[in-house]
Structure 1
Amino acid sequence: MLYLHGLGHFHPENVISNAFLEELDIGTNEEWIMERVGIAARRTVMSLDYIRSTKNVDPRAAIEASDYNNAQIAAFAAQMALERAGLSPGDIGMVISGSSASDHLTPAEASTVAAELNIDVPCFDVNSACSSFGMDIHVLDMMKPETLPPFVLIVNPETMTRSVDYSDRAVAVLFGDGAAAAVVSTRESSGAVFLSSFCDSKPTAWEKVVIPRMGYFRQDGHAVQGFAIRKTTDSIRALQSVYPVNRFVGHQANLGMLRTACERTGILEEQHWHNVEYFGNTGCSGAPAVLSQHWNDFSPGDHVAVCVVGGGLTWVHTLLKIEDQL
């Protein structure tokens, strides 16, 4: 079991509205976007003037056009998680990061986040694209409790908009930036606990979702959406067969995909927590950010199914049980 002590999230201030995307003259409008993906707005670390004038023609220049880097947005989310846990950065004994588009090939992004928090602790990355948060939980859950420090910080920063070609309407409407963080422990109990976790992959289909080095995001959209619906549905059903699931949080890819999985598994709208319509697809930070935004809505007895999919192709699910008031 893995105890959850705090959650945090951060989204940058710059808003990419559907009206803004329509102004780019790339063949899209409000009606088309809402019907296709159900996303009304997204956040970006980049300047809107930069996107408007260049459509991000050179992803390498996006770094200089950004207000924040991955380490900074991860640290913002981590500070919220630590405050909710009643801890300080000095209480953290290990940092694990996962991301779809890290700032550096080397070092591990966890090291840059730890440096931002001014702590010297063991750091490493567990990257599994959009399923990274679930994979981070799964990896920790497999480790022996005595080998871990009392408190571990998980961070999931995503600056996906830097990898978007804003002349491609199919991709431009999807992505936003954000970060999420979680303080967990295998040794110190709390009122929230991850009871189980599961992961699997279909690596023979890895080419369906790709971000080449310094290149643009690309995917086989139809195939990936079908895969995401099937695996999310299977994951919810697997957890429902064991636990009295009364909440669901999925990968924030698009609202239609999530609602289809809910319809197939009997998840009611009031049981379905999501934020994709306001923040877009924020990669692996999406699901934990939703959990963080509902931190004050958790009630004892809640059984939250967290089901995420990602490139690789990989899918992960875990069950978060709320035992006491947080």
Structure 2
Amino acid sequence: MLFLHGAGHFHPENVIDNDFLESLDIGTDANWTLQRVGIRKRRTVLPLDYIRHTRNANPREAEEAALYSNAKTGAMAARMAIERAGLRPEDIGLVVAGGCSPQFSTPAEASVIAAELGIEAPAFDMGTACSSFGTQLHFLSKMEPSALPPYVLVVNPENNTRTVDYNDRKTAVLWGDATSAVVISSQVPGPWRFCCSDFKTDPKGWDKVKIARGGHFVQDGAAVQKFAISKSVSMISDLDQRCNQPGDAFYFIGHQGNLRLLGSICKRMNIDGERHLFNVDEYGNGGAAGAPSVFSQNWDRFREGDRIVMVIVGAGLAWSGMVLSREAA
């Protein structure tokens, strides 16, 4: 059994709003953007002047221009999660990281984040793009408790605006930078219990979403949107049947790809607006950190007995999901 003890998030301070995108003269305006993706603002680790003057034509230059590294944003989200868990960095016995655009091919990003936090423990990466968080918890939950240390830190640093072509309105309107972190344990009970999970892939669609090394993010948007809606609906239904009692209400947190995608899922599953938690309208598509950052931002609202169904879709094509239950204080 897996327990979740603390969650954290970080969003950089620079804001890309719809007026800024309109000023780039790439064919967007506020109404077009809201109708297409339902996003008003996004966050970025890049200086706005850099985006304005270069349109990020060379993503390799974005590495130098960025105000934060993945290690820095990973550490900031991790510190919040560790503090909420009532722990210290030295209590962490394993660090796992993953996402869409790690800064290094080697070493593992988890090692760089662990070093930033002063954690001396094993560290490795496990990633399935935007669905990484669900994948990581799914596989960690399958491990024998004796195979894991008392506390594990899972971090998803997603500073993907470094890969965005700001001459391409189809992708420029989507991405925002975010980082999430959670502290979990298979040995020590905590405020959240991991009830069940799942992970699947459709490898033949691997080329529908990709970031070539040193290149820009590209995707077949229409195909990915259709796929994400279909797989999210089927996994929500399956997880609800497996892990919840008939008629149990739950909060839904989905992949923060865009608000139209999430609205379609909620409509098909009859999920009430008050039960749908999201932040994509104000922060953009946060990749693997999107859904867990929503969870972290709502950390204080949940009460004993609350349940969350979280489903995330990513490149690969991969999708993952889980049910979390709020335990007694």
- Normalised by the length of structure 2, the TM-score is 0.98
Q: CA deviation at 1:245?
A: 4.2
Q: CA deviation at 1:64?
A: 1.1
> Is 1:266 aligned with 2:237?
no
CA root-mean-square deviation: 0.7
Query: Which residue in 1 is equivalent to 2:70?
Result: 70
Q: 2:301 aligns with which of 280, 297, 303?
A: 297
Q: Is the contact made by 1:239 and 1:245 (CA closer than 8 Å) also made in structure 2? A: no
Q: Is the contact made by 1:131 and 1:316 (CA closer than 8 Å) also made in structure 2? A: yes
Judging changes above 3 Å, is the alpha-carbon distance between structure 1 residues 245 and 238 closer, same or farther for their aligned structure 2 residues? Answer: farther
**Per-residue CA shift, 1:161-207, capped at 9, x if unaligned?**
00000000000000010100000000000121111110010001100
Query: Which residues in structure 2 correspond to 1:1-326 (within 5 Å)?
Result: 1-242=1-242, 243=244, 244-325=248-329
Q: CA deviation at 1:251?
A: 0.6
**Per-residue CA shift, 1:78-110, capped at 9, x if unaligned?**
000011000000000000001100000000000
* Separation in 1, partners of 2:249, 2:101: 32
Moved more, 298-307 or 236-245: 236-245
What is the identity, as a one-letter code, of the residue corresponding to 2:284? G
* Separation in 1, partners of 2:73, 2:133: 16
Q: Is the contact made by 2:2 and 2:194 (CA closer than 8 Å) also made in structure 1? A: yes
Runs ≥4 in structure 1, deviation > 6 angstroms?
none
Q: Is the contact made by 1:245 and 1:305 (CA closer than 8 Å) also made in structure 2? A: no
Q: Is the contact made by 2:208 and 2:223 (CA closer than 8 Å) also made in structure 1? A: yes
Unmatched 5+ residue regions in structure 1?
A: none
What is the identity, as a one-letter code, of the residue corresponding to 2:277? W
- Normalised by the length of structure 1, the TM-score is 0.99
Moved more, 16-25 or 189-198: 189-198
Unmatched 5+ residue regions in structure 2?
A: none
* Separation in 2, partners of 1:245, 1:175: 31
* Separation in 2, partners of 1:196, 1:295: 20
Q: CA deviation at 1:323?
A: 1.4
Identity of aligned residues (%): 51
Q: CA deviation at 1:120?
A: 1.2
The residue matched to 1:4 in structure 2 has which SS?
strand
* Separation in 2, partners of 1:46, 1:201: 32
**Per-residue CA shift, 1:13-60, capped at 9, x if unaligned?**
000000000000001000000000000000000000000000001100
Q: Is the contact made by 1:245 and 1:304 (CA closer than 8 Å) also made in structure 2? A: no
**Per-residue CA shift, 1:229-274, capped at 9, x if unaligned?**
0011111111222312410001100001111111111110000000
Moved more, 298-307 or 239-248: 239-248
Q: CA deviation at 1:324?
A: 1.8
Count residues with an aligned counterpart.
Answer: 325
What is the identity, as a one-letter code, of the residue corresponding to 2:116? E
**Per-residue CA shift, 1:64-87, capped at 9, x if unaligned?**
111100010010000000110000
Judging changes above 3 Å, is the alpha-carbon distance between structure 1 residues 140 and 245 closer, same or farther for their aligned structure 2 residues? Answer: farther
* Separation in 2, partners of 1:46, 1:61: 11
Q: Is the contact made by 2:197 and 2:239 (CA closer than 8 Å) also made in structure 1? A: no
Q: Is the contact made by 1:94 and 1:121 (CA closer than 8 Å) also made in structure 2? A: yes
Q: Is the contact made by 1:192 and 1:321 (CA closer than 8 Å) also made in structure 2? A: yes
Q: Is the contact made by 2:201 and 2:316 (CA closer than 8 Å) also made in structure 1? A: yes
Q: Is the contact made by 2:157 and 2:179 (CA closer than 8 Å) also made in structure 1? A: yes
